[in-house]
């Protein structure tokens, strides 16, 4: 079993399945495109395609076993229900984990904070920190992330998301964190939940899964702080707040650094810590305080965490930066194409406004989805942060952006287009040397394709 993530016997014991022949796996996936040599392929059912149809191809790519609900050619564990079996495997993984587990949720910043937190812990425990990959934070992504956790992990960091009430409750019951962190409360998913209070309550479900003696970490700078505190008191032994004012973890000093990030001195329970943040924007100061609060709660190394925050680059679709060749010069492209809501739009527009440019500030902004009846007002309200950021020209993507164009009233030149293809053509025509362009929308708008087309082979950069 040397180096094995799971043996077929362990998989069968966890899922109640039957082994066709013995095997050992070093990884797990339900996406046949991700299969690597030695992995387990989980044949999930689907509304469009059945994972069992991809089992032969998974074996060709190097899978050594499959989790299936009907017999297949090749080594496999046969179960009655594949999704239920994956959850059972996730719970078995969590049960054998003897280290510390941290859970992260929030309306904005949860993936970035999860990545920063994992990097902070990894600094001192190389190769022993497991985290959710990508944004695997839903009813299939969380059990997959758990099932992938190596048995000797010292820390596990898991992201949990939701669209409806009760979803985080189910996820956190599998994760069972020792430390549960909420990054922020914003109007993402308000179409489904109906009110900000309901969003706060849904995020607060993360505290229900805390292990005995666990710690809840709550943003201090939110109107729903007391609501979250009330939810946390039912389940947490310790509660820590982060942010400004009377927060337990707060920045006593924060200034813009030469690299565009920030130099921060934070006050924690045990000590003050001065550190650099590589990422620009005031929201990253808040993210860093959340990370430090979680690191302190986990009993990990704060100094190492500070060093990790200074080294962390931007994430694809969440602040990654590219220097794009334009004529005889370059332009800066800020990739925020993965997600958007009013809070994150305002934060990233402020970053664009703070950029020192020799050319113009451009923004390609797409629809913010899942706003429901709040959508028109939310889109129109973007006019204020756009003007504050001194944006020179806008490309607006989607019919919902018409209200924003109207709210701007001609104060900023606007080109409104239907989709990412048209937006790409417009930006390629507009972009000049010395310009900085922000690209941001909900993921479904598809502006990642614009980033790929415009950035081309440009490697990510720090400025």
Binding residues for ATP: 106-112
CA–CA separation, 121 and 304 (whole Å): 8
User: Please, are residues 253 and 265 in contact by the beta-carbon 8 Å criterion?
Assistant: yes
Q: In the structure encoding, which two tokens stand for residue 111, read together? A: 């993936």
Known binding residues are 106-112
Q: Distances in Å between the alpha carbon of 358 and those of 25, 111, 327, 331?
A: 53, 32, 15, 10
Say how many C-beta atoms besides its own lie within 10 A of residue 388's C-beta. 12
Q: Among positive and negative, which fits the CA dihedral 142, 148, 151, 156?
A: negative
Cα distance between the two ends of the chain: 46
What beta strand segments (E) does 109-182 contain?
A: 129-131, 155-159, 179-182
Cβ within 8 Å of residue 71, ≥6 positions away = 20, 78
**Count of alpha carbons within 13 angstroms of residue 372, beta-carbon side:** 12
CA–CA separation, 206 and 336 (whole Å): 26
CA–CA separation, 190 and 308 (whole Å): 34
Q: Distances in Å between the alpha carbon of 48 and those of 44, 45, 51, 53?
A: 11, 9, 10, 11
3-state secondary structure of 326: strand
Please return the burial class of 336, using the count of CB atoms within 10 Å of its CB with bins 0-12, 13-18 and 19+.
buried
């Amino acid at each position: 079993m040397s180096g094995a993530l799971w043996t077929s016997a362990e998989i069968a014991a966890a899922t109640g399945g039957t082994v066709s022949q013995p095997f050992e796996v070093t990884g797990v996936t339900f996406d046949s495109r991700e299969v690597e040599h030695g992995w387990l392929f989980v044949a999930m059912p689907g509304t469009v395609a059945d994972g069992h149809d991809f089992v032969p191809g998974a074996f060709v790519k190097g899978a050594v076993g499959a989790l299936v609900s009907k017999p297949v050619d090749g080594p496999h564990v046969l179960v009655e229900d594949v999704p239920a079996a994956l959850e059972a495997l996730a719970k078995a993984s969590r049960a054998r984990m003897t280290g510390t587990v941290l859970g992260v949720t929030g309306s904005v910043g949860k993936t970035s904070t999860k990545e920063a937190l994992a990097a902070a812990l990894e600094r001192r425990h190389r190769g022993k920190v497991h985290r959710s990959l990508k944004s695997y934070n839903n009813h299939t992504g969380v059990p997959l992330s758990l099932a992938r956790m190596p048995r000797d992990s010292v820390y596990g960091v898991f992201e949990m998301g939701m669209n409806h009430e009760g979803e985080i409750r189910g996820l956190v019951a599998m994760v069972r964190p020792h430390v549960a962190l909420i990054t922020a409360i914003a109007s993402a998913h308000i179409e489904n939940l109906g009110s900000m209070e309901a969003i706060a309550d849904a995020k607060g479900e993360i505290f229900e899964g805390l292990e005995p003696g666990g710690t809840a970490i709550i943003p201090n700078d939110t109107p729903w702080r007391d609501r979250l505190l009330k939810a946390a008191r039912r389940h947490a032994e310790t509660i820590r707040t982060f942010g400004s004012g009377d927060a337990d973890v707060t920045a006593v000093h924060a200034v813009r650094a030469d690299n565009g990030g920030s130099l921060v001195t934070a006050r924690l329970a045990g000590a003050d810590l001065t550190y650099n943040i590589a990422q620009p924007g005031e929201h990253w100061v808040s993210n860093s305080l959340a990370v430090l609060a979680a690191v302190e709660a986990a009993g990990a190394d704060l100094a190492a965490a500070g060093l990790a925050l200074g080294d962390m680059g931007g994430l694809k679709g969440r602040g990654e930066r590219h220097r794009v060749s334009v004529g005889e010069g370059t332009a800066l492209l800020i990739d925020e194409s993965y997600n958007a809501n009013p809070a994150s739009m305002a934060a990233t527009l402020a970053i664009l406004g703070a950029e020192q440019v020799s050319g113009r500030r451009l923004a390609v902004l797409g629809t913010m989805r899942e706003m429901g009846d709040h959508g028109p007002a939310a889109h129109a309200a973007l006019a204020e942060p756009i003007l504050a950021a001194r944006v020179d020209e806008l490309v607006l993507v989607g019919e919902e952006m018409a209200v924003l164009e109207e709210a701007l009233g001609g104060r900023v030149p606007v080109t409104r287009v239907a989709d990412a293809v048209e937006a790409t053509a417009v930006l390629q025509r507009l972009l000049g040397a010395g310009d900085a362009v922000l690209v941001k929308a909900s993921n479904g708008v598809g502006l990642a394709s614009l980033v790929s087309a415009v950035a081309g082979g440009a490697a990510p950069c720090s400025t």
